[in-house]
Amino acid sequence: MQRCGVIICRYSTVYDPNEKTFDKILIANRGEIACRVIKTCKKMGIKTVAVHSDVDSSAVHVKMADEAVCVGPAPTSKSYLNMDAIMNAIKQTGAQAVHPGYGFLSENKEFAKRLVRKKCHISQTDMHLLSKVMFIYFIKFFQDAEEAVKIAGEIGYPVMIKASAGGGDMRKADISTNISANGVCCCLQVLADKHGNALWLNERECSIQRRNQKVVEEAPSTFLDPDTRRAMGEQAVSLAKAVKYSSAGTVEFLVDTKKNFYFLEMNTRLQVEHPITECITGLDLVQQMILIAKGYKLQQKQSDIPINGWAIESRVYAEFMHYVFGNSIFDDNCYFAFLSKVRVDSGIQEGSDISIYYDPMISKLVTYGKTREEALKKMEEALDNYVIRGVTHNIPLLREIIVHPRFVSGDISTKFLPEVYPDGFKGHMLTAGERRELLATAAALYVAAQLRSQKFLGDLSRQCELCVELDQGVHMLGVSRSGNNYTVEIDGEKVEVSGEWNLASALLPITINGKHRNLQCLLRTAAGEITLQYLGTSFKLRVLSKLAAYLGKHMPEKIPEDTSSILRSPMPGSVVAVSVKPGDNVSEGQEICVIEAMKMQNSMTAAKTAKVKSVHCKAGDTVGEGDLLVELE
């Protein structure tokens, strides 16, 4: 793992030996949140117990903990949601308290009750169901939209509509003909102790969502003014006090364009995006949760809670962004090269497996600045310097979001992604100037590599003509060199490119026409194939000498595989259902099978109308990327 620069965590854990808490805490979770809790426990002198499934036996959180207990096989129902196994682990290790993190059992009332009966502290309250019911005056399950409109008309608008199975999708209905409307999603962080004290720690802006899941968060929000923030905070605290809540929790509101805000729900747990609150307040929320669980009073007053600067969090996931937000999972081999004022919360390391059974998060990338502009610039730099190998990821999308003019201006809502990318995200679209920059960089890199081989392959002229292929386009370039500086002529335009040209490094920091750029060289072969990550997106190029390009025209072309007759799995996963059998006639676009990966079901469809020749999978099978599923005649 390569790390450059300084990583600054913008929160402070000060361990006071006089504050006796627990000797040992079990973390009923996995991944980055388990690692996050363990870090604070270590600073507080508390021993930790990790639980894990059999496929997580070598996970980072297992290695970090003082003890580890296997609680079952890979499926979550048999491991991380297995209350009996986790209760046995508590008994086996003698843990005095449990931190459930988020997800899994973090808001499970039955789990909380079992811990109370065992006299084991839990760092969340068991009152969460009450807090969600008390402040929503009408709850009903609807069979269809018509029934929803009918009931909404009876009780009055606005109303909130949430998917019955959860998943984060909460919609605000203003009128019967428009069941969902744009809004800003704000989460108010609260802290409450067991002595009736409660604080609000400002808001987190969580409107940038994909598939109703948060992608980019920031604190504070660009939309709220001090008066609205205070009113929301006071209502959040009132809610926590009304249900006698104790611990860290989050109250979610939807805010309309007129800054009217509406209660959505209360999450009685630590949230994924808690680091940005820690950045602007300086508080360690995990430490606060532990102190509260032990019975300590809050040491801060509301006037002590600052908004100190600006923080932005990007959720880095393993997935294939060009499948209209589809997913992919591979063995992960990643390392980081970062700047100052950057925080990384991660539960993986070089060689980690990103399993099909769990959330595909690689890390939470957080940047901090005195202003939003500085935090955004730091995020752009951090994403450009974030080196990940062995797994496709969503960094191209994250970078596009944080540099998009609409996002930079603060014009955001829960509809941001579908409005900006109505046909799905396809990667960065190059302007003419950016295309020249990319072509020139590839040409300069090619020449630098040839010059490095000069002592072995003989002399190489400092002036050369090259043919560069990009997106089925062919470009003739003239390249001249002076030291580490290259002048590349493209279609009558000159591009100046300079850098150290360290060909052994994954990072390629260069200057193009006086502007600093951070690129990454993902692939470079002797055949002139070069893949560069530029402005967040990877681009495949091919660089050839003028002679090689001429001779290449006379080479026979490889006939590509007829993919319309075969269906391969685009990702590792499990087969949920197979809808056809040999001899069946299928139409173009008809569903053939369903593959589940990382909690998402993906429908695989026929590319043409034909008869099924053979089926190579069945429900329950585990498949890898590229595995043959079905053949058509």
Residue type, 572: P
Identify the domain boundary among 553, 588, 614: 553
Q: For residue 11, what pLDDT is reported? A: 58
Averaged pLDDT for residues 461-468: 82
Is the per-residue pLDDT at 416 higher than 80? yes
Identify the domain boundary among 553, 579, 605: 553
User: Which range, 42-51, 246-255, 555-564, has the best average confidence (pLDDT)?
Assistant: 42-51
Q: For residue 175, what pLDDT is reported? A: 40
Q: Is residue 146 part of a domain?
A: no
Q: How sure is the predictor about 423, in pLDDT bands with cuts at 50, 70 and 90?
A: confident
Our count of domains for the chain comes to 5
Give per-residue pLDDT as tens, 131-151: 222 333 444 556 666 777 777
Closest Cα to residue 206, out of 157, 173, 166, 251? 251
DSSP tag of 365: E
**Whether residues 285 and 185 fall in one domain:** yes
State the chain's mean pLDDT as an integer: 85
**Could you tell me which residue, 520 or 172, shows the higher pLDDT?**
520
Q: Is residue 18 part of a domain?
A: no
Q: Is residue 110 part of a domain?
A: yes
Q: For residue 464, what pLDDT is reported? A: 87
Q: Characterize the bridge pairing of strands 67-72 and 47-53.
A: parallel
Q: How sure is the predictor about 52, in pLDDT bands with cuts at 50, 70 and 90?
A: very high
Q: For residue 549, what pLDDT is reported? A: 87
Q: How sure is the predictor about 166, in pLDDT bands with cuts at 50, 70 and 90?
A: very low
Give per-residue pLDDT as tens, 574-617: 899 999 999 999 999 999 999 887 667 788 999 999 999 999 99
Is the per-residue pLDDT at 155 higher than 70? no
Burial 281-307 (b: 16+ CB within 10 A, else e): bebbbbbbbbbbbbebebeeeeeebee
Is the per-residue pLDDT at 4 higher than 60? no
Q: For residue 329, what pLDDT is reported? A: 34
Q: Is residue 560 part of a domain?
A: no
**Whether residues 314 and 367 fall in one domain:** yes
Is the per-residue pLDDT at 177 higher than 90? no
**Whether residues 303 and 187 fall in one domain:** yes
Cα 595 → chain centroid = 21
**Whether residues 505 and 394 fall in one domain:** no
**Whether residues 275 and 367 fall in one domain:** no
- Of the listed ranges 157-166, 195-204, 250-259, 587-596, the least confidently predicted one is 157-166
SS3 string, 77-92, reads HHCCCCHHHHHHHHHH
CATH code at 463? 3.30.700.30
Q: How sure is the predictor about 414, in pLDDT bands with cuts at 50, 70 and 90?
A: confident
Q: For residue 264, what pLDDT is reported? A: 83
Q: Is residue 169 part of a domain?
A: no
pTM for this one? 0.85
**Whether residues 504 and 575 fall in one domain:** no
Give per-residue pLDDT as tens, 348-361: 988 888 888 888 89
Q: Is residue 58 part of a domain?
A: yes
Q: For residue 321, what pLDDT is reported? A: 46
Q: Is residue 247 part of a domain?
A: yes
Is the per-residue pLDDT at 325 higher than 50? no
**Whether residues 180 and 303 fall in one domain:** yes
Closest Cα to residue 60, out of 279, 265, 353? 353
Q: What percent of the chain has pLDDT over 90?
A: 61
Is the per-residue pLDDT at 9 higher than 50? no
Is the per-residue pLDDT at 305 higher than 60? yes
**Whether residues 403 and 495 fall in one domain:** no
Residue 106 structural domain: 24-122
Match 């941001």 to its residue by tokens.
416
β-pair partners for 24:
47
CATH code at 109? 3.40.50.20
**Whether residues 313 and 302 fall in one domain:** no
**Whether residues 437 and 420 fall in one domain:** no
**Whether residues 505 and 530 fall in one domain:** yes
Q: Is residue 137 part of a domain?
A: no
Q: For residue 294, what pLDDT is reported? A: 92
Q: How far apart are CA 236 and CA 239, in angstroms?
A: 5
Q: For residue 59, what pLDDT is reported? A: 96
Averaged pLDDT for residues 138-165: 63
Q: How sure is the predictor about 73, in pLDDT bands with cuts at 50, 70 and 90?
A: very high
Q: For residue 332, what pLDDT is reported? A: 38
**Could you tell me which residue, 222 or 461, shows the higher pLDDT?**
222
Q: For residue 530, what pLDDT is reported? A: 97
- Of the listed ranges 121-125, 249-253, 400-404, the least confidently predicted one is 121-125
CATH code at 368? 3.30.470.20
**Could you tell me which residue, 571 or 470, shows the higher pLDDT?**
470
What are the strands of the beta sheet with 591-597, ordered from one edge?
A: 600-605, 591-597, 573-578, 622-623
Give per-residue pLDDT as tens, 196-236: 999 999 999 999 988 778 999 999 999 999 999 999 999 99
Identify the domain boundary among 363, 395, 427: 427
Is the per-residue pLDDT at 1 higher than 60? no
**Whether residues 300 and 196 fall in one domain:** yes
Catalytic residues: 269
Give per-residue pLDDT as tens, 514-545: 999 999 999 999 899 999 999 999 999 999 99
- Of the listed ranges 205-214, 395-404, 554-563, the least confidently predicted one is 554-563
DSSP tag of 413: -
Is the per-residue pLDDT at 459 higher than 70? no
Is the per-residue pLDDT at 457 higher than 70? no
**C-alpha distances in angstroms, 540 versus 116, 473, 578, 625?**
57, 12, 35, 21
